[in-house]
A and B are shown apart, each in its own frame.
Chain A
Amino acid sequence: MDKKVNYEKIERSAKSRDALRKAVIYALLAVWAIIVLFPFYWMVLTSVKSYGAYNAEAVPTFYTLSPTLENYKEAFTAVPLARYFLNTLIFTVVTTSIMMIVTVFAAFAFARLQFYGKNIAFIALLSLMMIPTELVLITNYVTITNLDLRNTFAGLILPSVASVFYIYLLKENFAQVPDELYYAAKVDNTSDMKYLFKVLLPICRPTLVTIAILKIIECWNSYLWPRLVADKETHYLVSNGIQVIRESGFGRENIPAMMAAVVAISLPLIALFLIFRKKIMTGVARGGMKG
Chain B
Amino acid sequence: MDKKNMKGWLYLLPAIFFLGFFMVYPLIDVFIYSFEEGFNFVSQSHHGIGTYNFRYVLRDPYFMQALKNTFILVIITVPVSTGIALLISVGLSSIKAVRNLFQTVYFLPYVTNTLAVGLVFMILFKKTPYSDGLVNLLINWFGGESVDFIDGPYWAKMFVLCFYTVWIVMPFKILILTSALASVNPEYYKAAQVDGTSKSRTFFKITLPMISPTVFYLLITGFIGAFKSYSDSVALFGTDLNQAGMNTIVGYVYDMLYGDSGGYPSYASAAAVILFVIILTITCINLMIRKKHVHIQ
A and B touch in the complex (CB under 8 A): yes
Check A7 for interface membership: any CB of B closer than 8 A.
no
B5 and A115 contact, CB distance less than 8 A:
yes
Q: B interface, how many residues as a size bin?
A: 35 or more
- Which of A60, A128, A289 lies in contact with B214, CB distance below 8 A? A289
A60 and B131 contact, CB distance less than 8 A:
yes
A280 and B217 contact, CB distance less than 8 A:
no
Q: Which of A18-26, A177-185, A199-207 contacts B (4 or more CB under 8 A)?
A: A18-26
- Which of A33, A114, A125, A242 lies in contact with B119, CB distance below 8 A? A242
- Which of A135, A140, A143 lies in contact with B276, CB distance below 8 A? A135
A42 and B120 contact, CB distance less than 8 A:
yes
B115 and A242 contact, CB distance less than 8 A:
yes
- Which of A57, A106, A261 lies in contact with B11, CB distance below 8 A? A106
Give the complex CA separation of A65 and B228 in angstroms: 43
Least CB distance from B78 to A in Å reads 16
A115 and B199 contact, CB distance less than 8 A:
no
Given A28-B88, A238-B116, also A141-B258 (CB < 8 A) = yes
Residue in chain A with minimal CB distance to B94 = A25
Check B19 for interface membership: any CB of A closer than 8 A.
yes
Check A43 for interface membership: any CB of B closer than 8 A.
yes
- Which of B12, B21, B23, B112 lies in contact with A121, CB distance below 8 A? B12
A162 and B15 contact, CB distance less than 8 A:
yes
Residue in chain B with minimal CB distance to A272 = B111
B119 and A262 contact, CB distance less than 8 A:
yes
B30 and A113 contact, CB distance less than 8 A:
no
Least CB distance from B220 to A in Å reads 9
Residue in chain A with minimal CB distance to B110 = A284
Give the complex CA separation of A132 and B44 in angstroms: 25
Check B83 for interface membership: any CB of A closer than 8 A.
no
Given A32-B88, A131-B27, also A60-B107 (CB < 8 A) = no
Q: A interface, how many residues as a size bin?
A: 35 or more
Given A25-B95, A46-B123, A247-B239, also A136-B30 (CB < 8 A) = yes
A105 and B12 contact, CB distance less than 8 A:
yes
Chain A stretch 127-147: residues in CB contact (< 8 A) with chain B: 128, 130-132, 134-143
- Which of A114, A141, A242 lies in contact with B8, CB distance below 8 A? A114
Check A259 for interface membership: any CB of B closer than 8 A.
yes
Check A251 for interface membership: any CB of B closer than 8 A.
no
Give the complex CA separation of A285 and B120 in angstroms: 28
Check B25 for interface membership: any CB of A closer than 8 A.
yes
Give the complex CA separation of A3 and B276 in angstroms: 67
Query: Which residues of chain A are within 8 angstroms of B238 by Cβ–Cβ distance?
Result: 246-247
Chain A stretch 43-66: residues in CB contact (< 8 A) with chain B: 43, 46, 55, 57-60
Check B253 for interface membership: any CB of A closer than 8 A.
yes
- Which of B103, B107, B230, B257 lies in contact with A138, CB distance below 8 A? B257
Query: Which residues of chain A are within 8 angstroms of B275 by Cβ–Cβ distance?
Result: 132, 134-135
Chain B, residues 147-177, CB within 8 Å of chain A (1/0): the string is 0000000000000000000010010100110
Check A91 for interface membership: any CB of B closer than 8 A.
no
B107 and A281 contact, CB distance less than 8 A:
yes
Give the complex CA separation of A289 and B18 in angstroms: 26
Least CB distance from B176 to A in Å reads 5
Query: Which residues of chain A are within 8 angstroms of B113 by Cβ–Cβ distance?
Result: 220-221, 238-239, 242, 265-266, 269
Chain A, residues 112-128, CB within 8 Å of chain B (1/0): the string is 01111110010001001
A265 and B12 contact, CB distance less than 8 A:
no
Residue in chain A with minimal CB distance to B240 = A247
B15 and A246 contact, CB distance less than 8 A:
no
Given A28-B87, A42-B124, A137-B257, also A242-B116 (CB < 8 A) = yes
Check A108 for interface membership: any CB of B closer than 8 A.
yes
Query: Which residues of chain A are within 8 angstroms of B22 by Cβ–Cβ distance?
Result: 136, 140, 143, 158-159, 161-162
Given A39-B124, A137-B272, also A270-B172 (CB < 8 A) = no
B272 and A138 contact, CB distance less than 8 A:
yes
Q: List 17 A-B contacts (CB under 8 A).
A: A29-B91, A33-B105, A36-B167, A46-B123, A105-B11, A106-B11, A131-B23, A137-B272, A138-B30, A162-B15, A164-B23, A217-B110, A242-B119, A259-B119, A266-B116, A277-B107, A288-B172
